[in-house]
Amino acid sequence: MRMWVLAAAVWGRTALSHSITAIMVTDDQHTIVTGSQEGQICLWDLSSDLKISSKEILFGHTASVTCLAKARE
């Protein structure tokens, strides 16, 4: 049985630091994935008119994310 734990991050006027060290675009070109020096992975929505908005931020890595790869279906 899989158990999912959802987390929400809330901050004030200034967002967390996210120094991008890796970037990947999904095959459908609707999502950008970035890895950071701080160990976070962020998902960004990319609209057809090339506007980018944040979607999710994943925490948990204890080291920099220096590489991103797609998993097979």
- Look at residue 11 in the predicted model and tell me its pLDDT: 62
pTM of the model: 0.72
- Taking 70 as the pLDDT cut, the residues of the chain under it are 1-12, 15-16
- Look at residue 65 in the predicted model and tell me its pLDDT: 93
- Look at residue 72 in the predicted model and tell me its pLDDT: 76
- Look at residue 55 in the predicted model and tell me its pLDDT: 86
Other C-beta atoms lying within 10 Å of the C-beta of residue 15 = 10
Distance between CA atoms of residues 29 and 37, nearest Å: 24
Mean pLDDT of the chain: 82
- Look at residue 4 in the predicted model and tell me its pLDDT: 59
